[in-house]
Amino acid sequence: MHEPAAVPAPAAVPAAVWKNSGRLADGREIIYFDESPGSGRAQVRDTRDLSDEAGPATGPESGIRWDPLAGEWVVIAAQRQGRTFLPPLEQCPLCPSRPGRPTEIPASDYDVVVFENRFPSLYGAQPGPAGPDGAAAAQAGSGGTPEGVGGTPARAGGTPAGVGGTPAGAGGTPAGAGGTPAGAGDTPAGAGGTSAGAGGTSAGAGDTPSGRDSLTARRPPTGRCEVVCFTADHDSAFAYLTPSRARTVVEAGADRTAVLGAMGGIRQVFCFENKGEEIGVTLHHPHGQIYGFPFVTPRTRQLIGQAAAYARSGNGNLFDDVVASELSAGTRVVARNEHWTAFVPAAARWPYEVLLFPVRRVPDLPALCDAARDAFCELYLDVLRRFDAVFGSQPPYIAAWYQAPAGGTATRNDFGLHLRVMSVRRAPGKLKYLAGTESGMGVWINDVVPETAALRLREAR
Ligand SMILES: [Zn+2]
């Protein structure tokens, strides 16, 4: 049966998206996001014999291990070594199937399609009870619902100090995890107050082993990895999608965020795109990925911790204030519209790095209203085309969505959804490598001045 994933408001520009799911030969789920009803694609059978596929390795060599020195989980995924690596065009597994040449997508055409990764780093999460505090349950089924999903009022500032805050040591995070500086003078915001929570314990006690257990802590790689194909056209790229196709991709991301976030064991949904061989992309076909992690990621913990510390020291919402501060400075703003602002962050790490924030703060993709979804597509396509114009060709980039954790009730309303686009290219033909200071010390050295990068992007069309 066809089940509309989104009911558009009467004024919505793009049509509704129809979501239909089926199964591949080895049981993996495939979900078609169709731009018109009645395609019948989900009913097309996968004719491949995948019965001798090894499947994800489940031995002790794979899994998630705790790094007690850094206070972070590391995913060991040995089975991924066998994955498809830069196949020739005629063997692309993301193109639609043709007679005699079946691919991962059994249908002969598609708009946007999502399927479970054949070589997943994380797998086995099942629909079921959500994270410990159950907030993900509130998201379940909210996929693509416009306006107000999750009941998050866009409340500018006004976060009472302490709300969502992280008492030092709560949950037993190893001391100093996540960059707790020695000495208040090191960190600009609220001396003293910044330490607690910077490592982000707020995300739930189960996430962080402590004491001697932390020396050998491991857990199964429970989670989910999905692939999102943006178009059936092998030679296209996100930057060249139509706004309505980009909108269908956003619908798919919102749907998967809600569905995966409601699965048992998943604490964080991450939608992203790696673009270009230089980033390590193994398939050229335009696609992104969605990971459902069984823990809150270090970057998210950091964002939550910083926002909590900022609020505790008597300020409003950190995400709101960062955007307001960029707008008021103006020198790093790249482009904006009624619903979104794109700017190079003042302390950009990558040579070309742009953050896109909605004007009305929301915690995640499902909470974006219809108008904001449309406006995002307009601005994001504009920003990507500016990247192309600066380099004279499509640069390699990483696009990463930062969303509130699934089930993070305490912090959900204070989190600010945003997209970060980062190009590893410094100049035509020159790449930025994560070398000694970045890989060894976590200190980034960027030799492109952010204001200059913003100016080039602003002027590039
Ligand atoms: Zn292809």
- Mean pLDDT along residues 6-29: 72
The domains located in the chain, with CATH, are: 5-9+160-214+298-459 (3.30.428.10), 18-42+61-158+220-293 (3.30.428.10)
Instruction: State how far the Cα of 424 lies from the Cα of 413, in Å rounded to an integer.
Output: 32
pTM value is 0.81
Name the nearest CA neighbour of 116 among 28, 24, 32, 19. 28
Which pLDDT band, with edges at 50, 70 and 90, does 186 fall under?
low
Q: Tell me: the pLDDT tens digits for 195-250? A: 333 333 333 445 788 889 889 899 999 999 999 999 999 999 999 999 999 999 99
> Predicted confidence band at 431 (pLDDT cuts at 50, 70, 90)?
confident
- What is the C-alpha separation between 80 and 421, in angstroms, rounded? 25
Residue 176 backbone phi and psi in degrees, to 5: 80, 0
Task: List the catalytic residues.
Answer: 287
Alpha carbon dihedral 207, 415, 5, 35, in 10-degree steps, equals -110
Distance 166 CA to ligand 1 centre (A): 46
pLDDT in tens, 91-109: 899 999 999 999 999 999 9
**What is the Å distance from ligand 1's center to 185 Cα?**
53
Q: What pLDDT does residue 393 have?
A: 82
Separation CA 319–CA 310 (nearest Å): 10
Burial class (CB in 10 A: 0-12, 13-18, 19+), 42: buried
Nearest to 124 by CA among 194, 221, 48, 29: 221
State mean pLDDT over 57-63: 66
- Span from the CA of 253 to the centroid of ligand 1 (angstroms): 20
The string over 370-381, giving b where at least 16 C-beta atoms fall within 10 Å of a residue's C-beta and e elsewhere, is bbbbbbbbbbbb
Q: What is the pLDDT of residues 250-292, one digit of tens each?
A: 999 999 999 999 999 999 999 999 998 877 777 899 999 999 9
CA 336 – ligand 1 centroid, Å: 33
Quote the ligand 1 centre to 238 CA distance (angstroms): 14
Handedness of CA 13, 2, 129, 30 (dihedral sign): negative
Which candidate, 217, 219, 221, 214, places its Cα nearest to that of 77? 221
What residues contact residue 105 under an 8 Å CB cut-off, 6+ apart? 30, 94, 95, 96, 97, 113, 115, 229
CA of 97 to the centre of ligand 1 (A): 10
Q: What is the Å distance from ligand 1's center to 395 Cα?
A: 19
Q: What is the pLDDT of residue 263?
A: 95
Band of pLDDT at residue 183, cut at 50, 70 and 90: very low
What is the rounded CA–CA span in Å between residue 310 and residue 338?
27
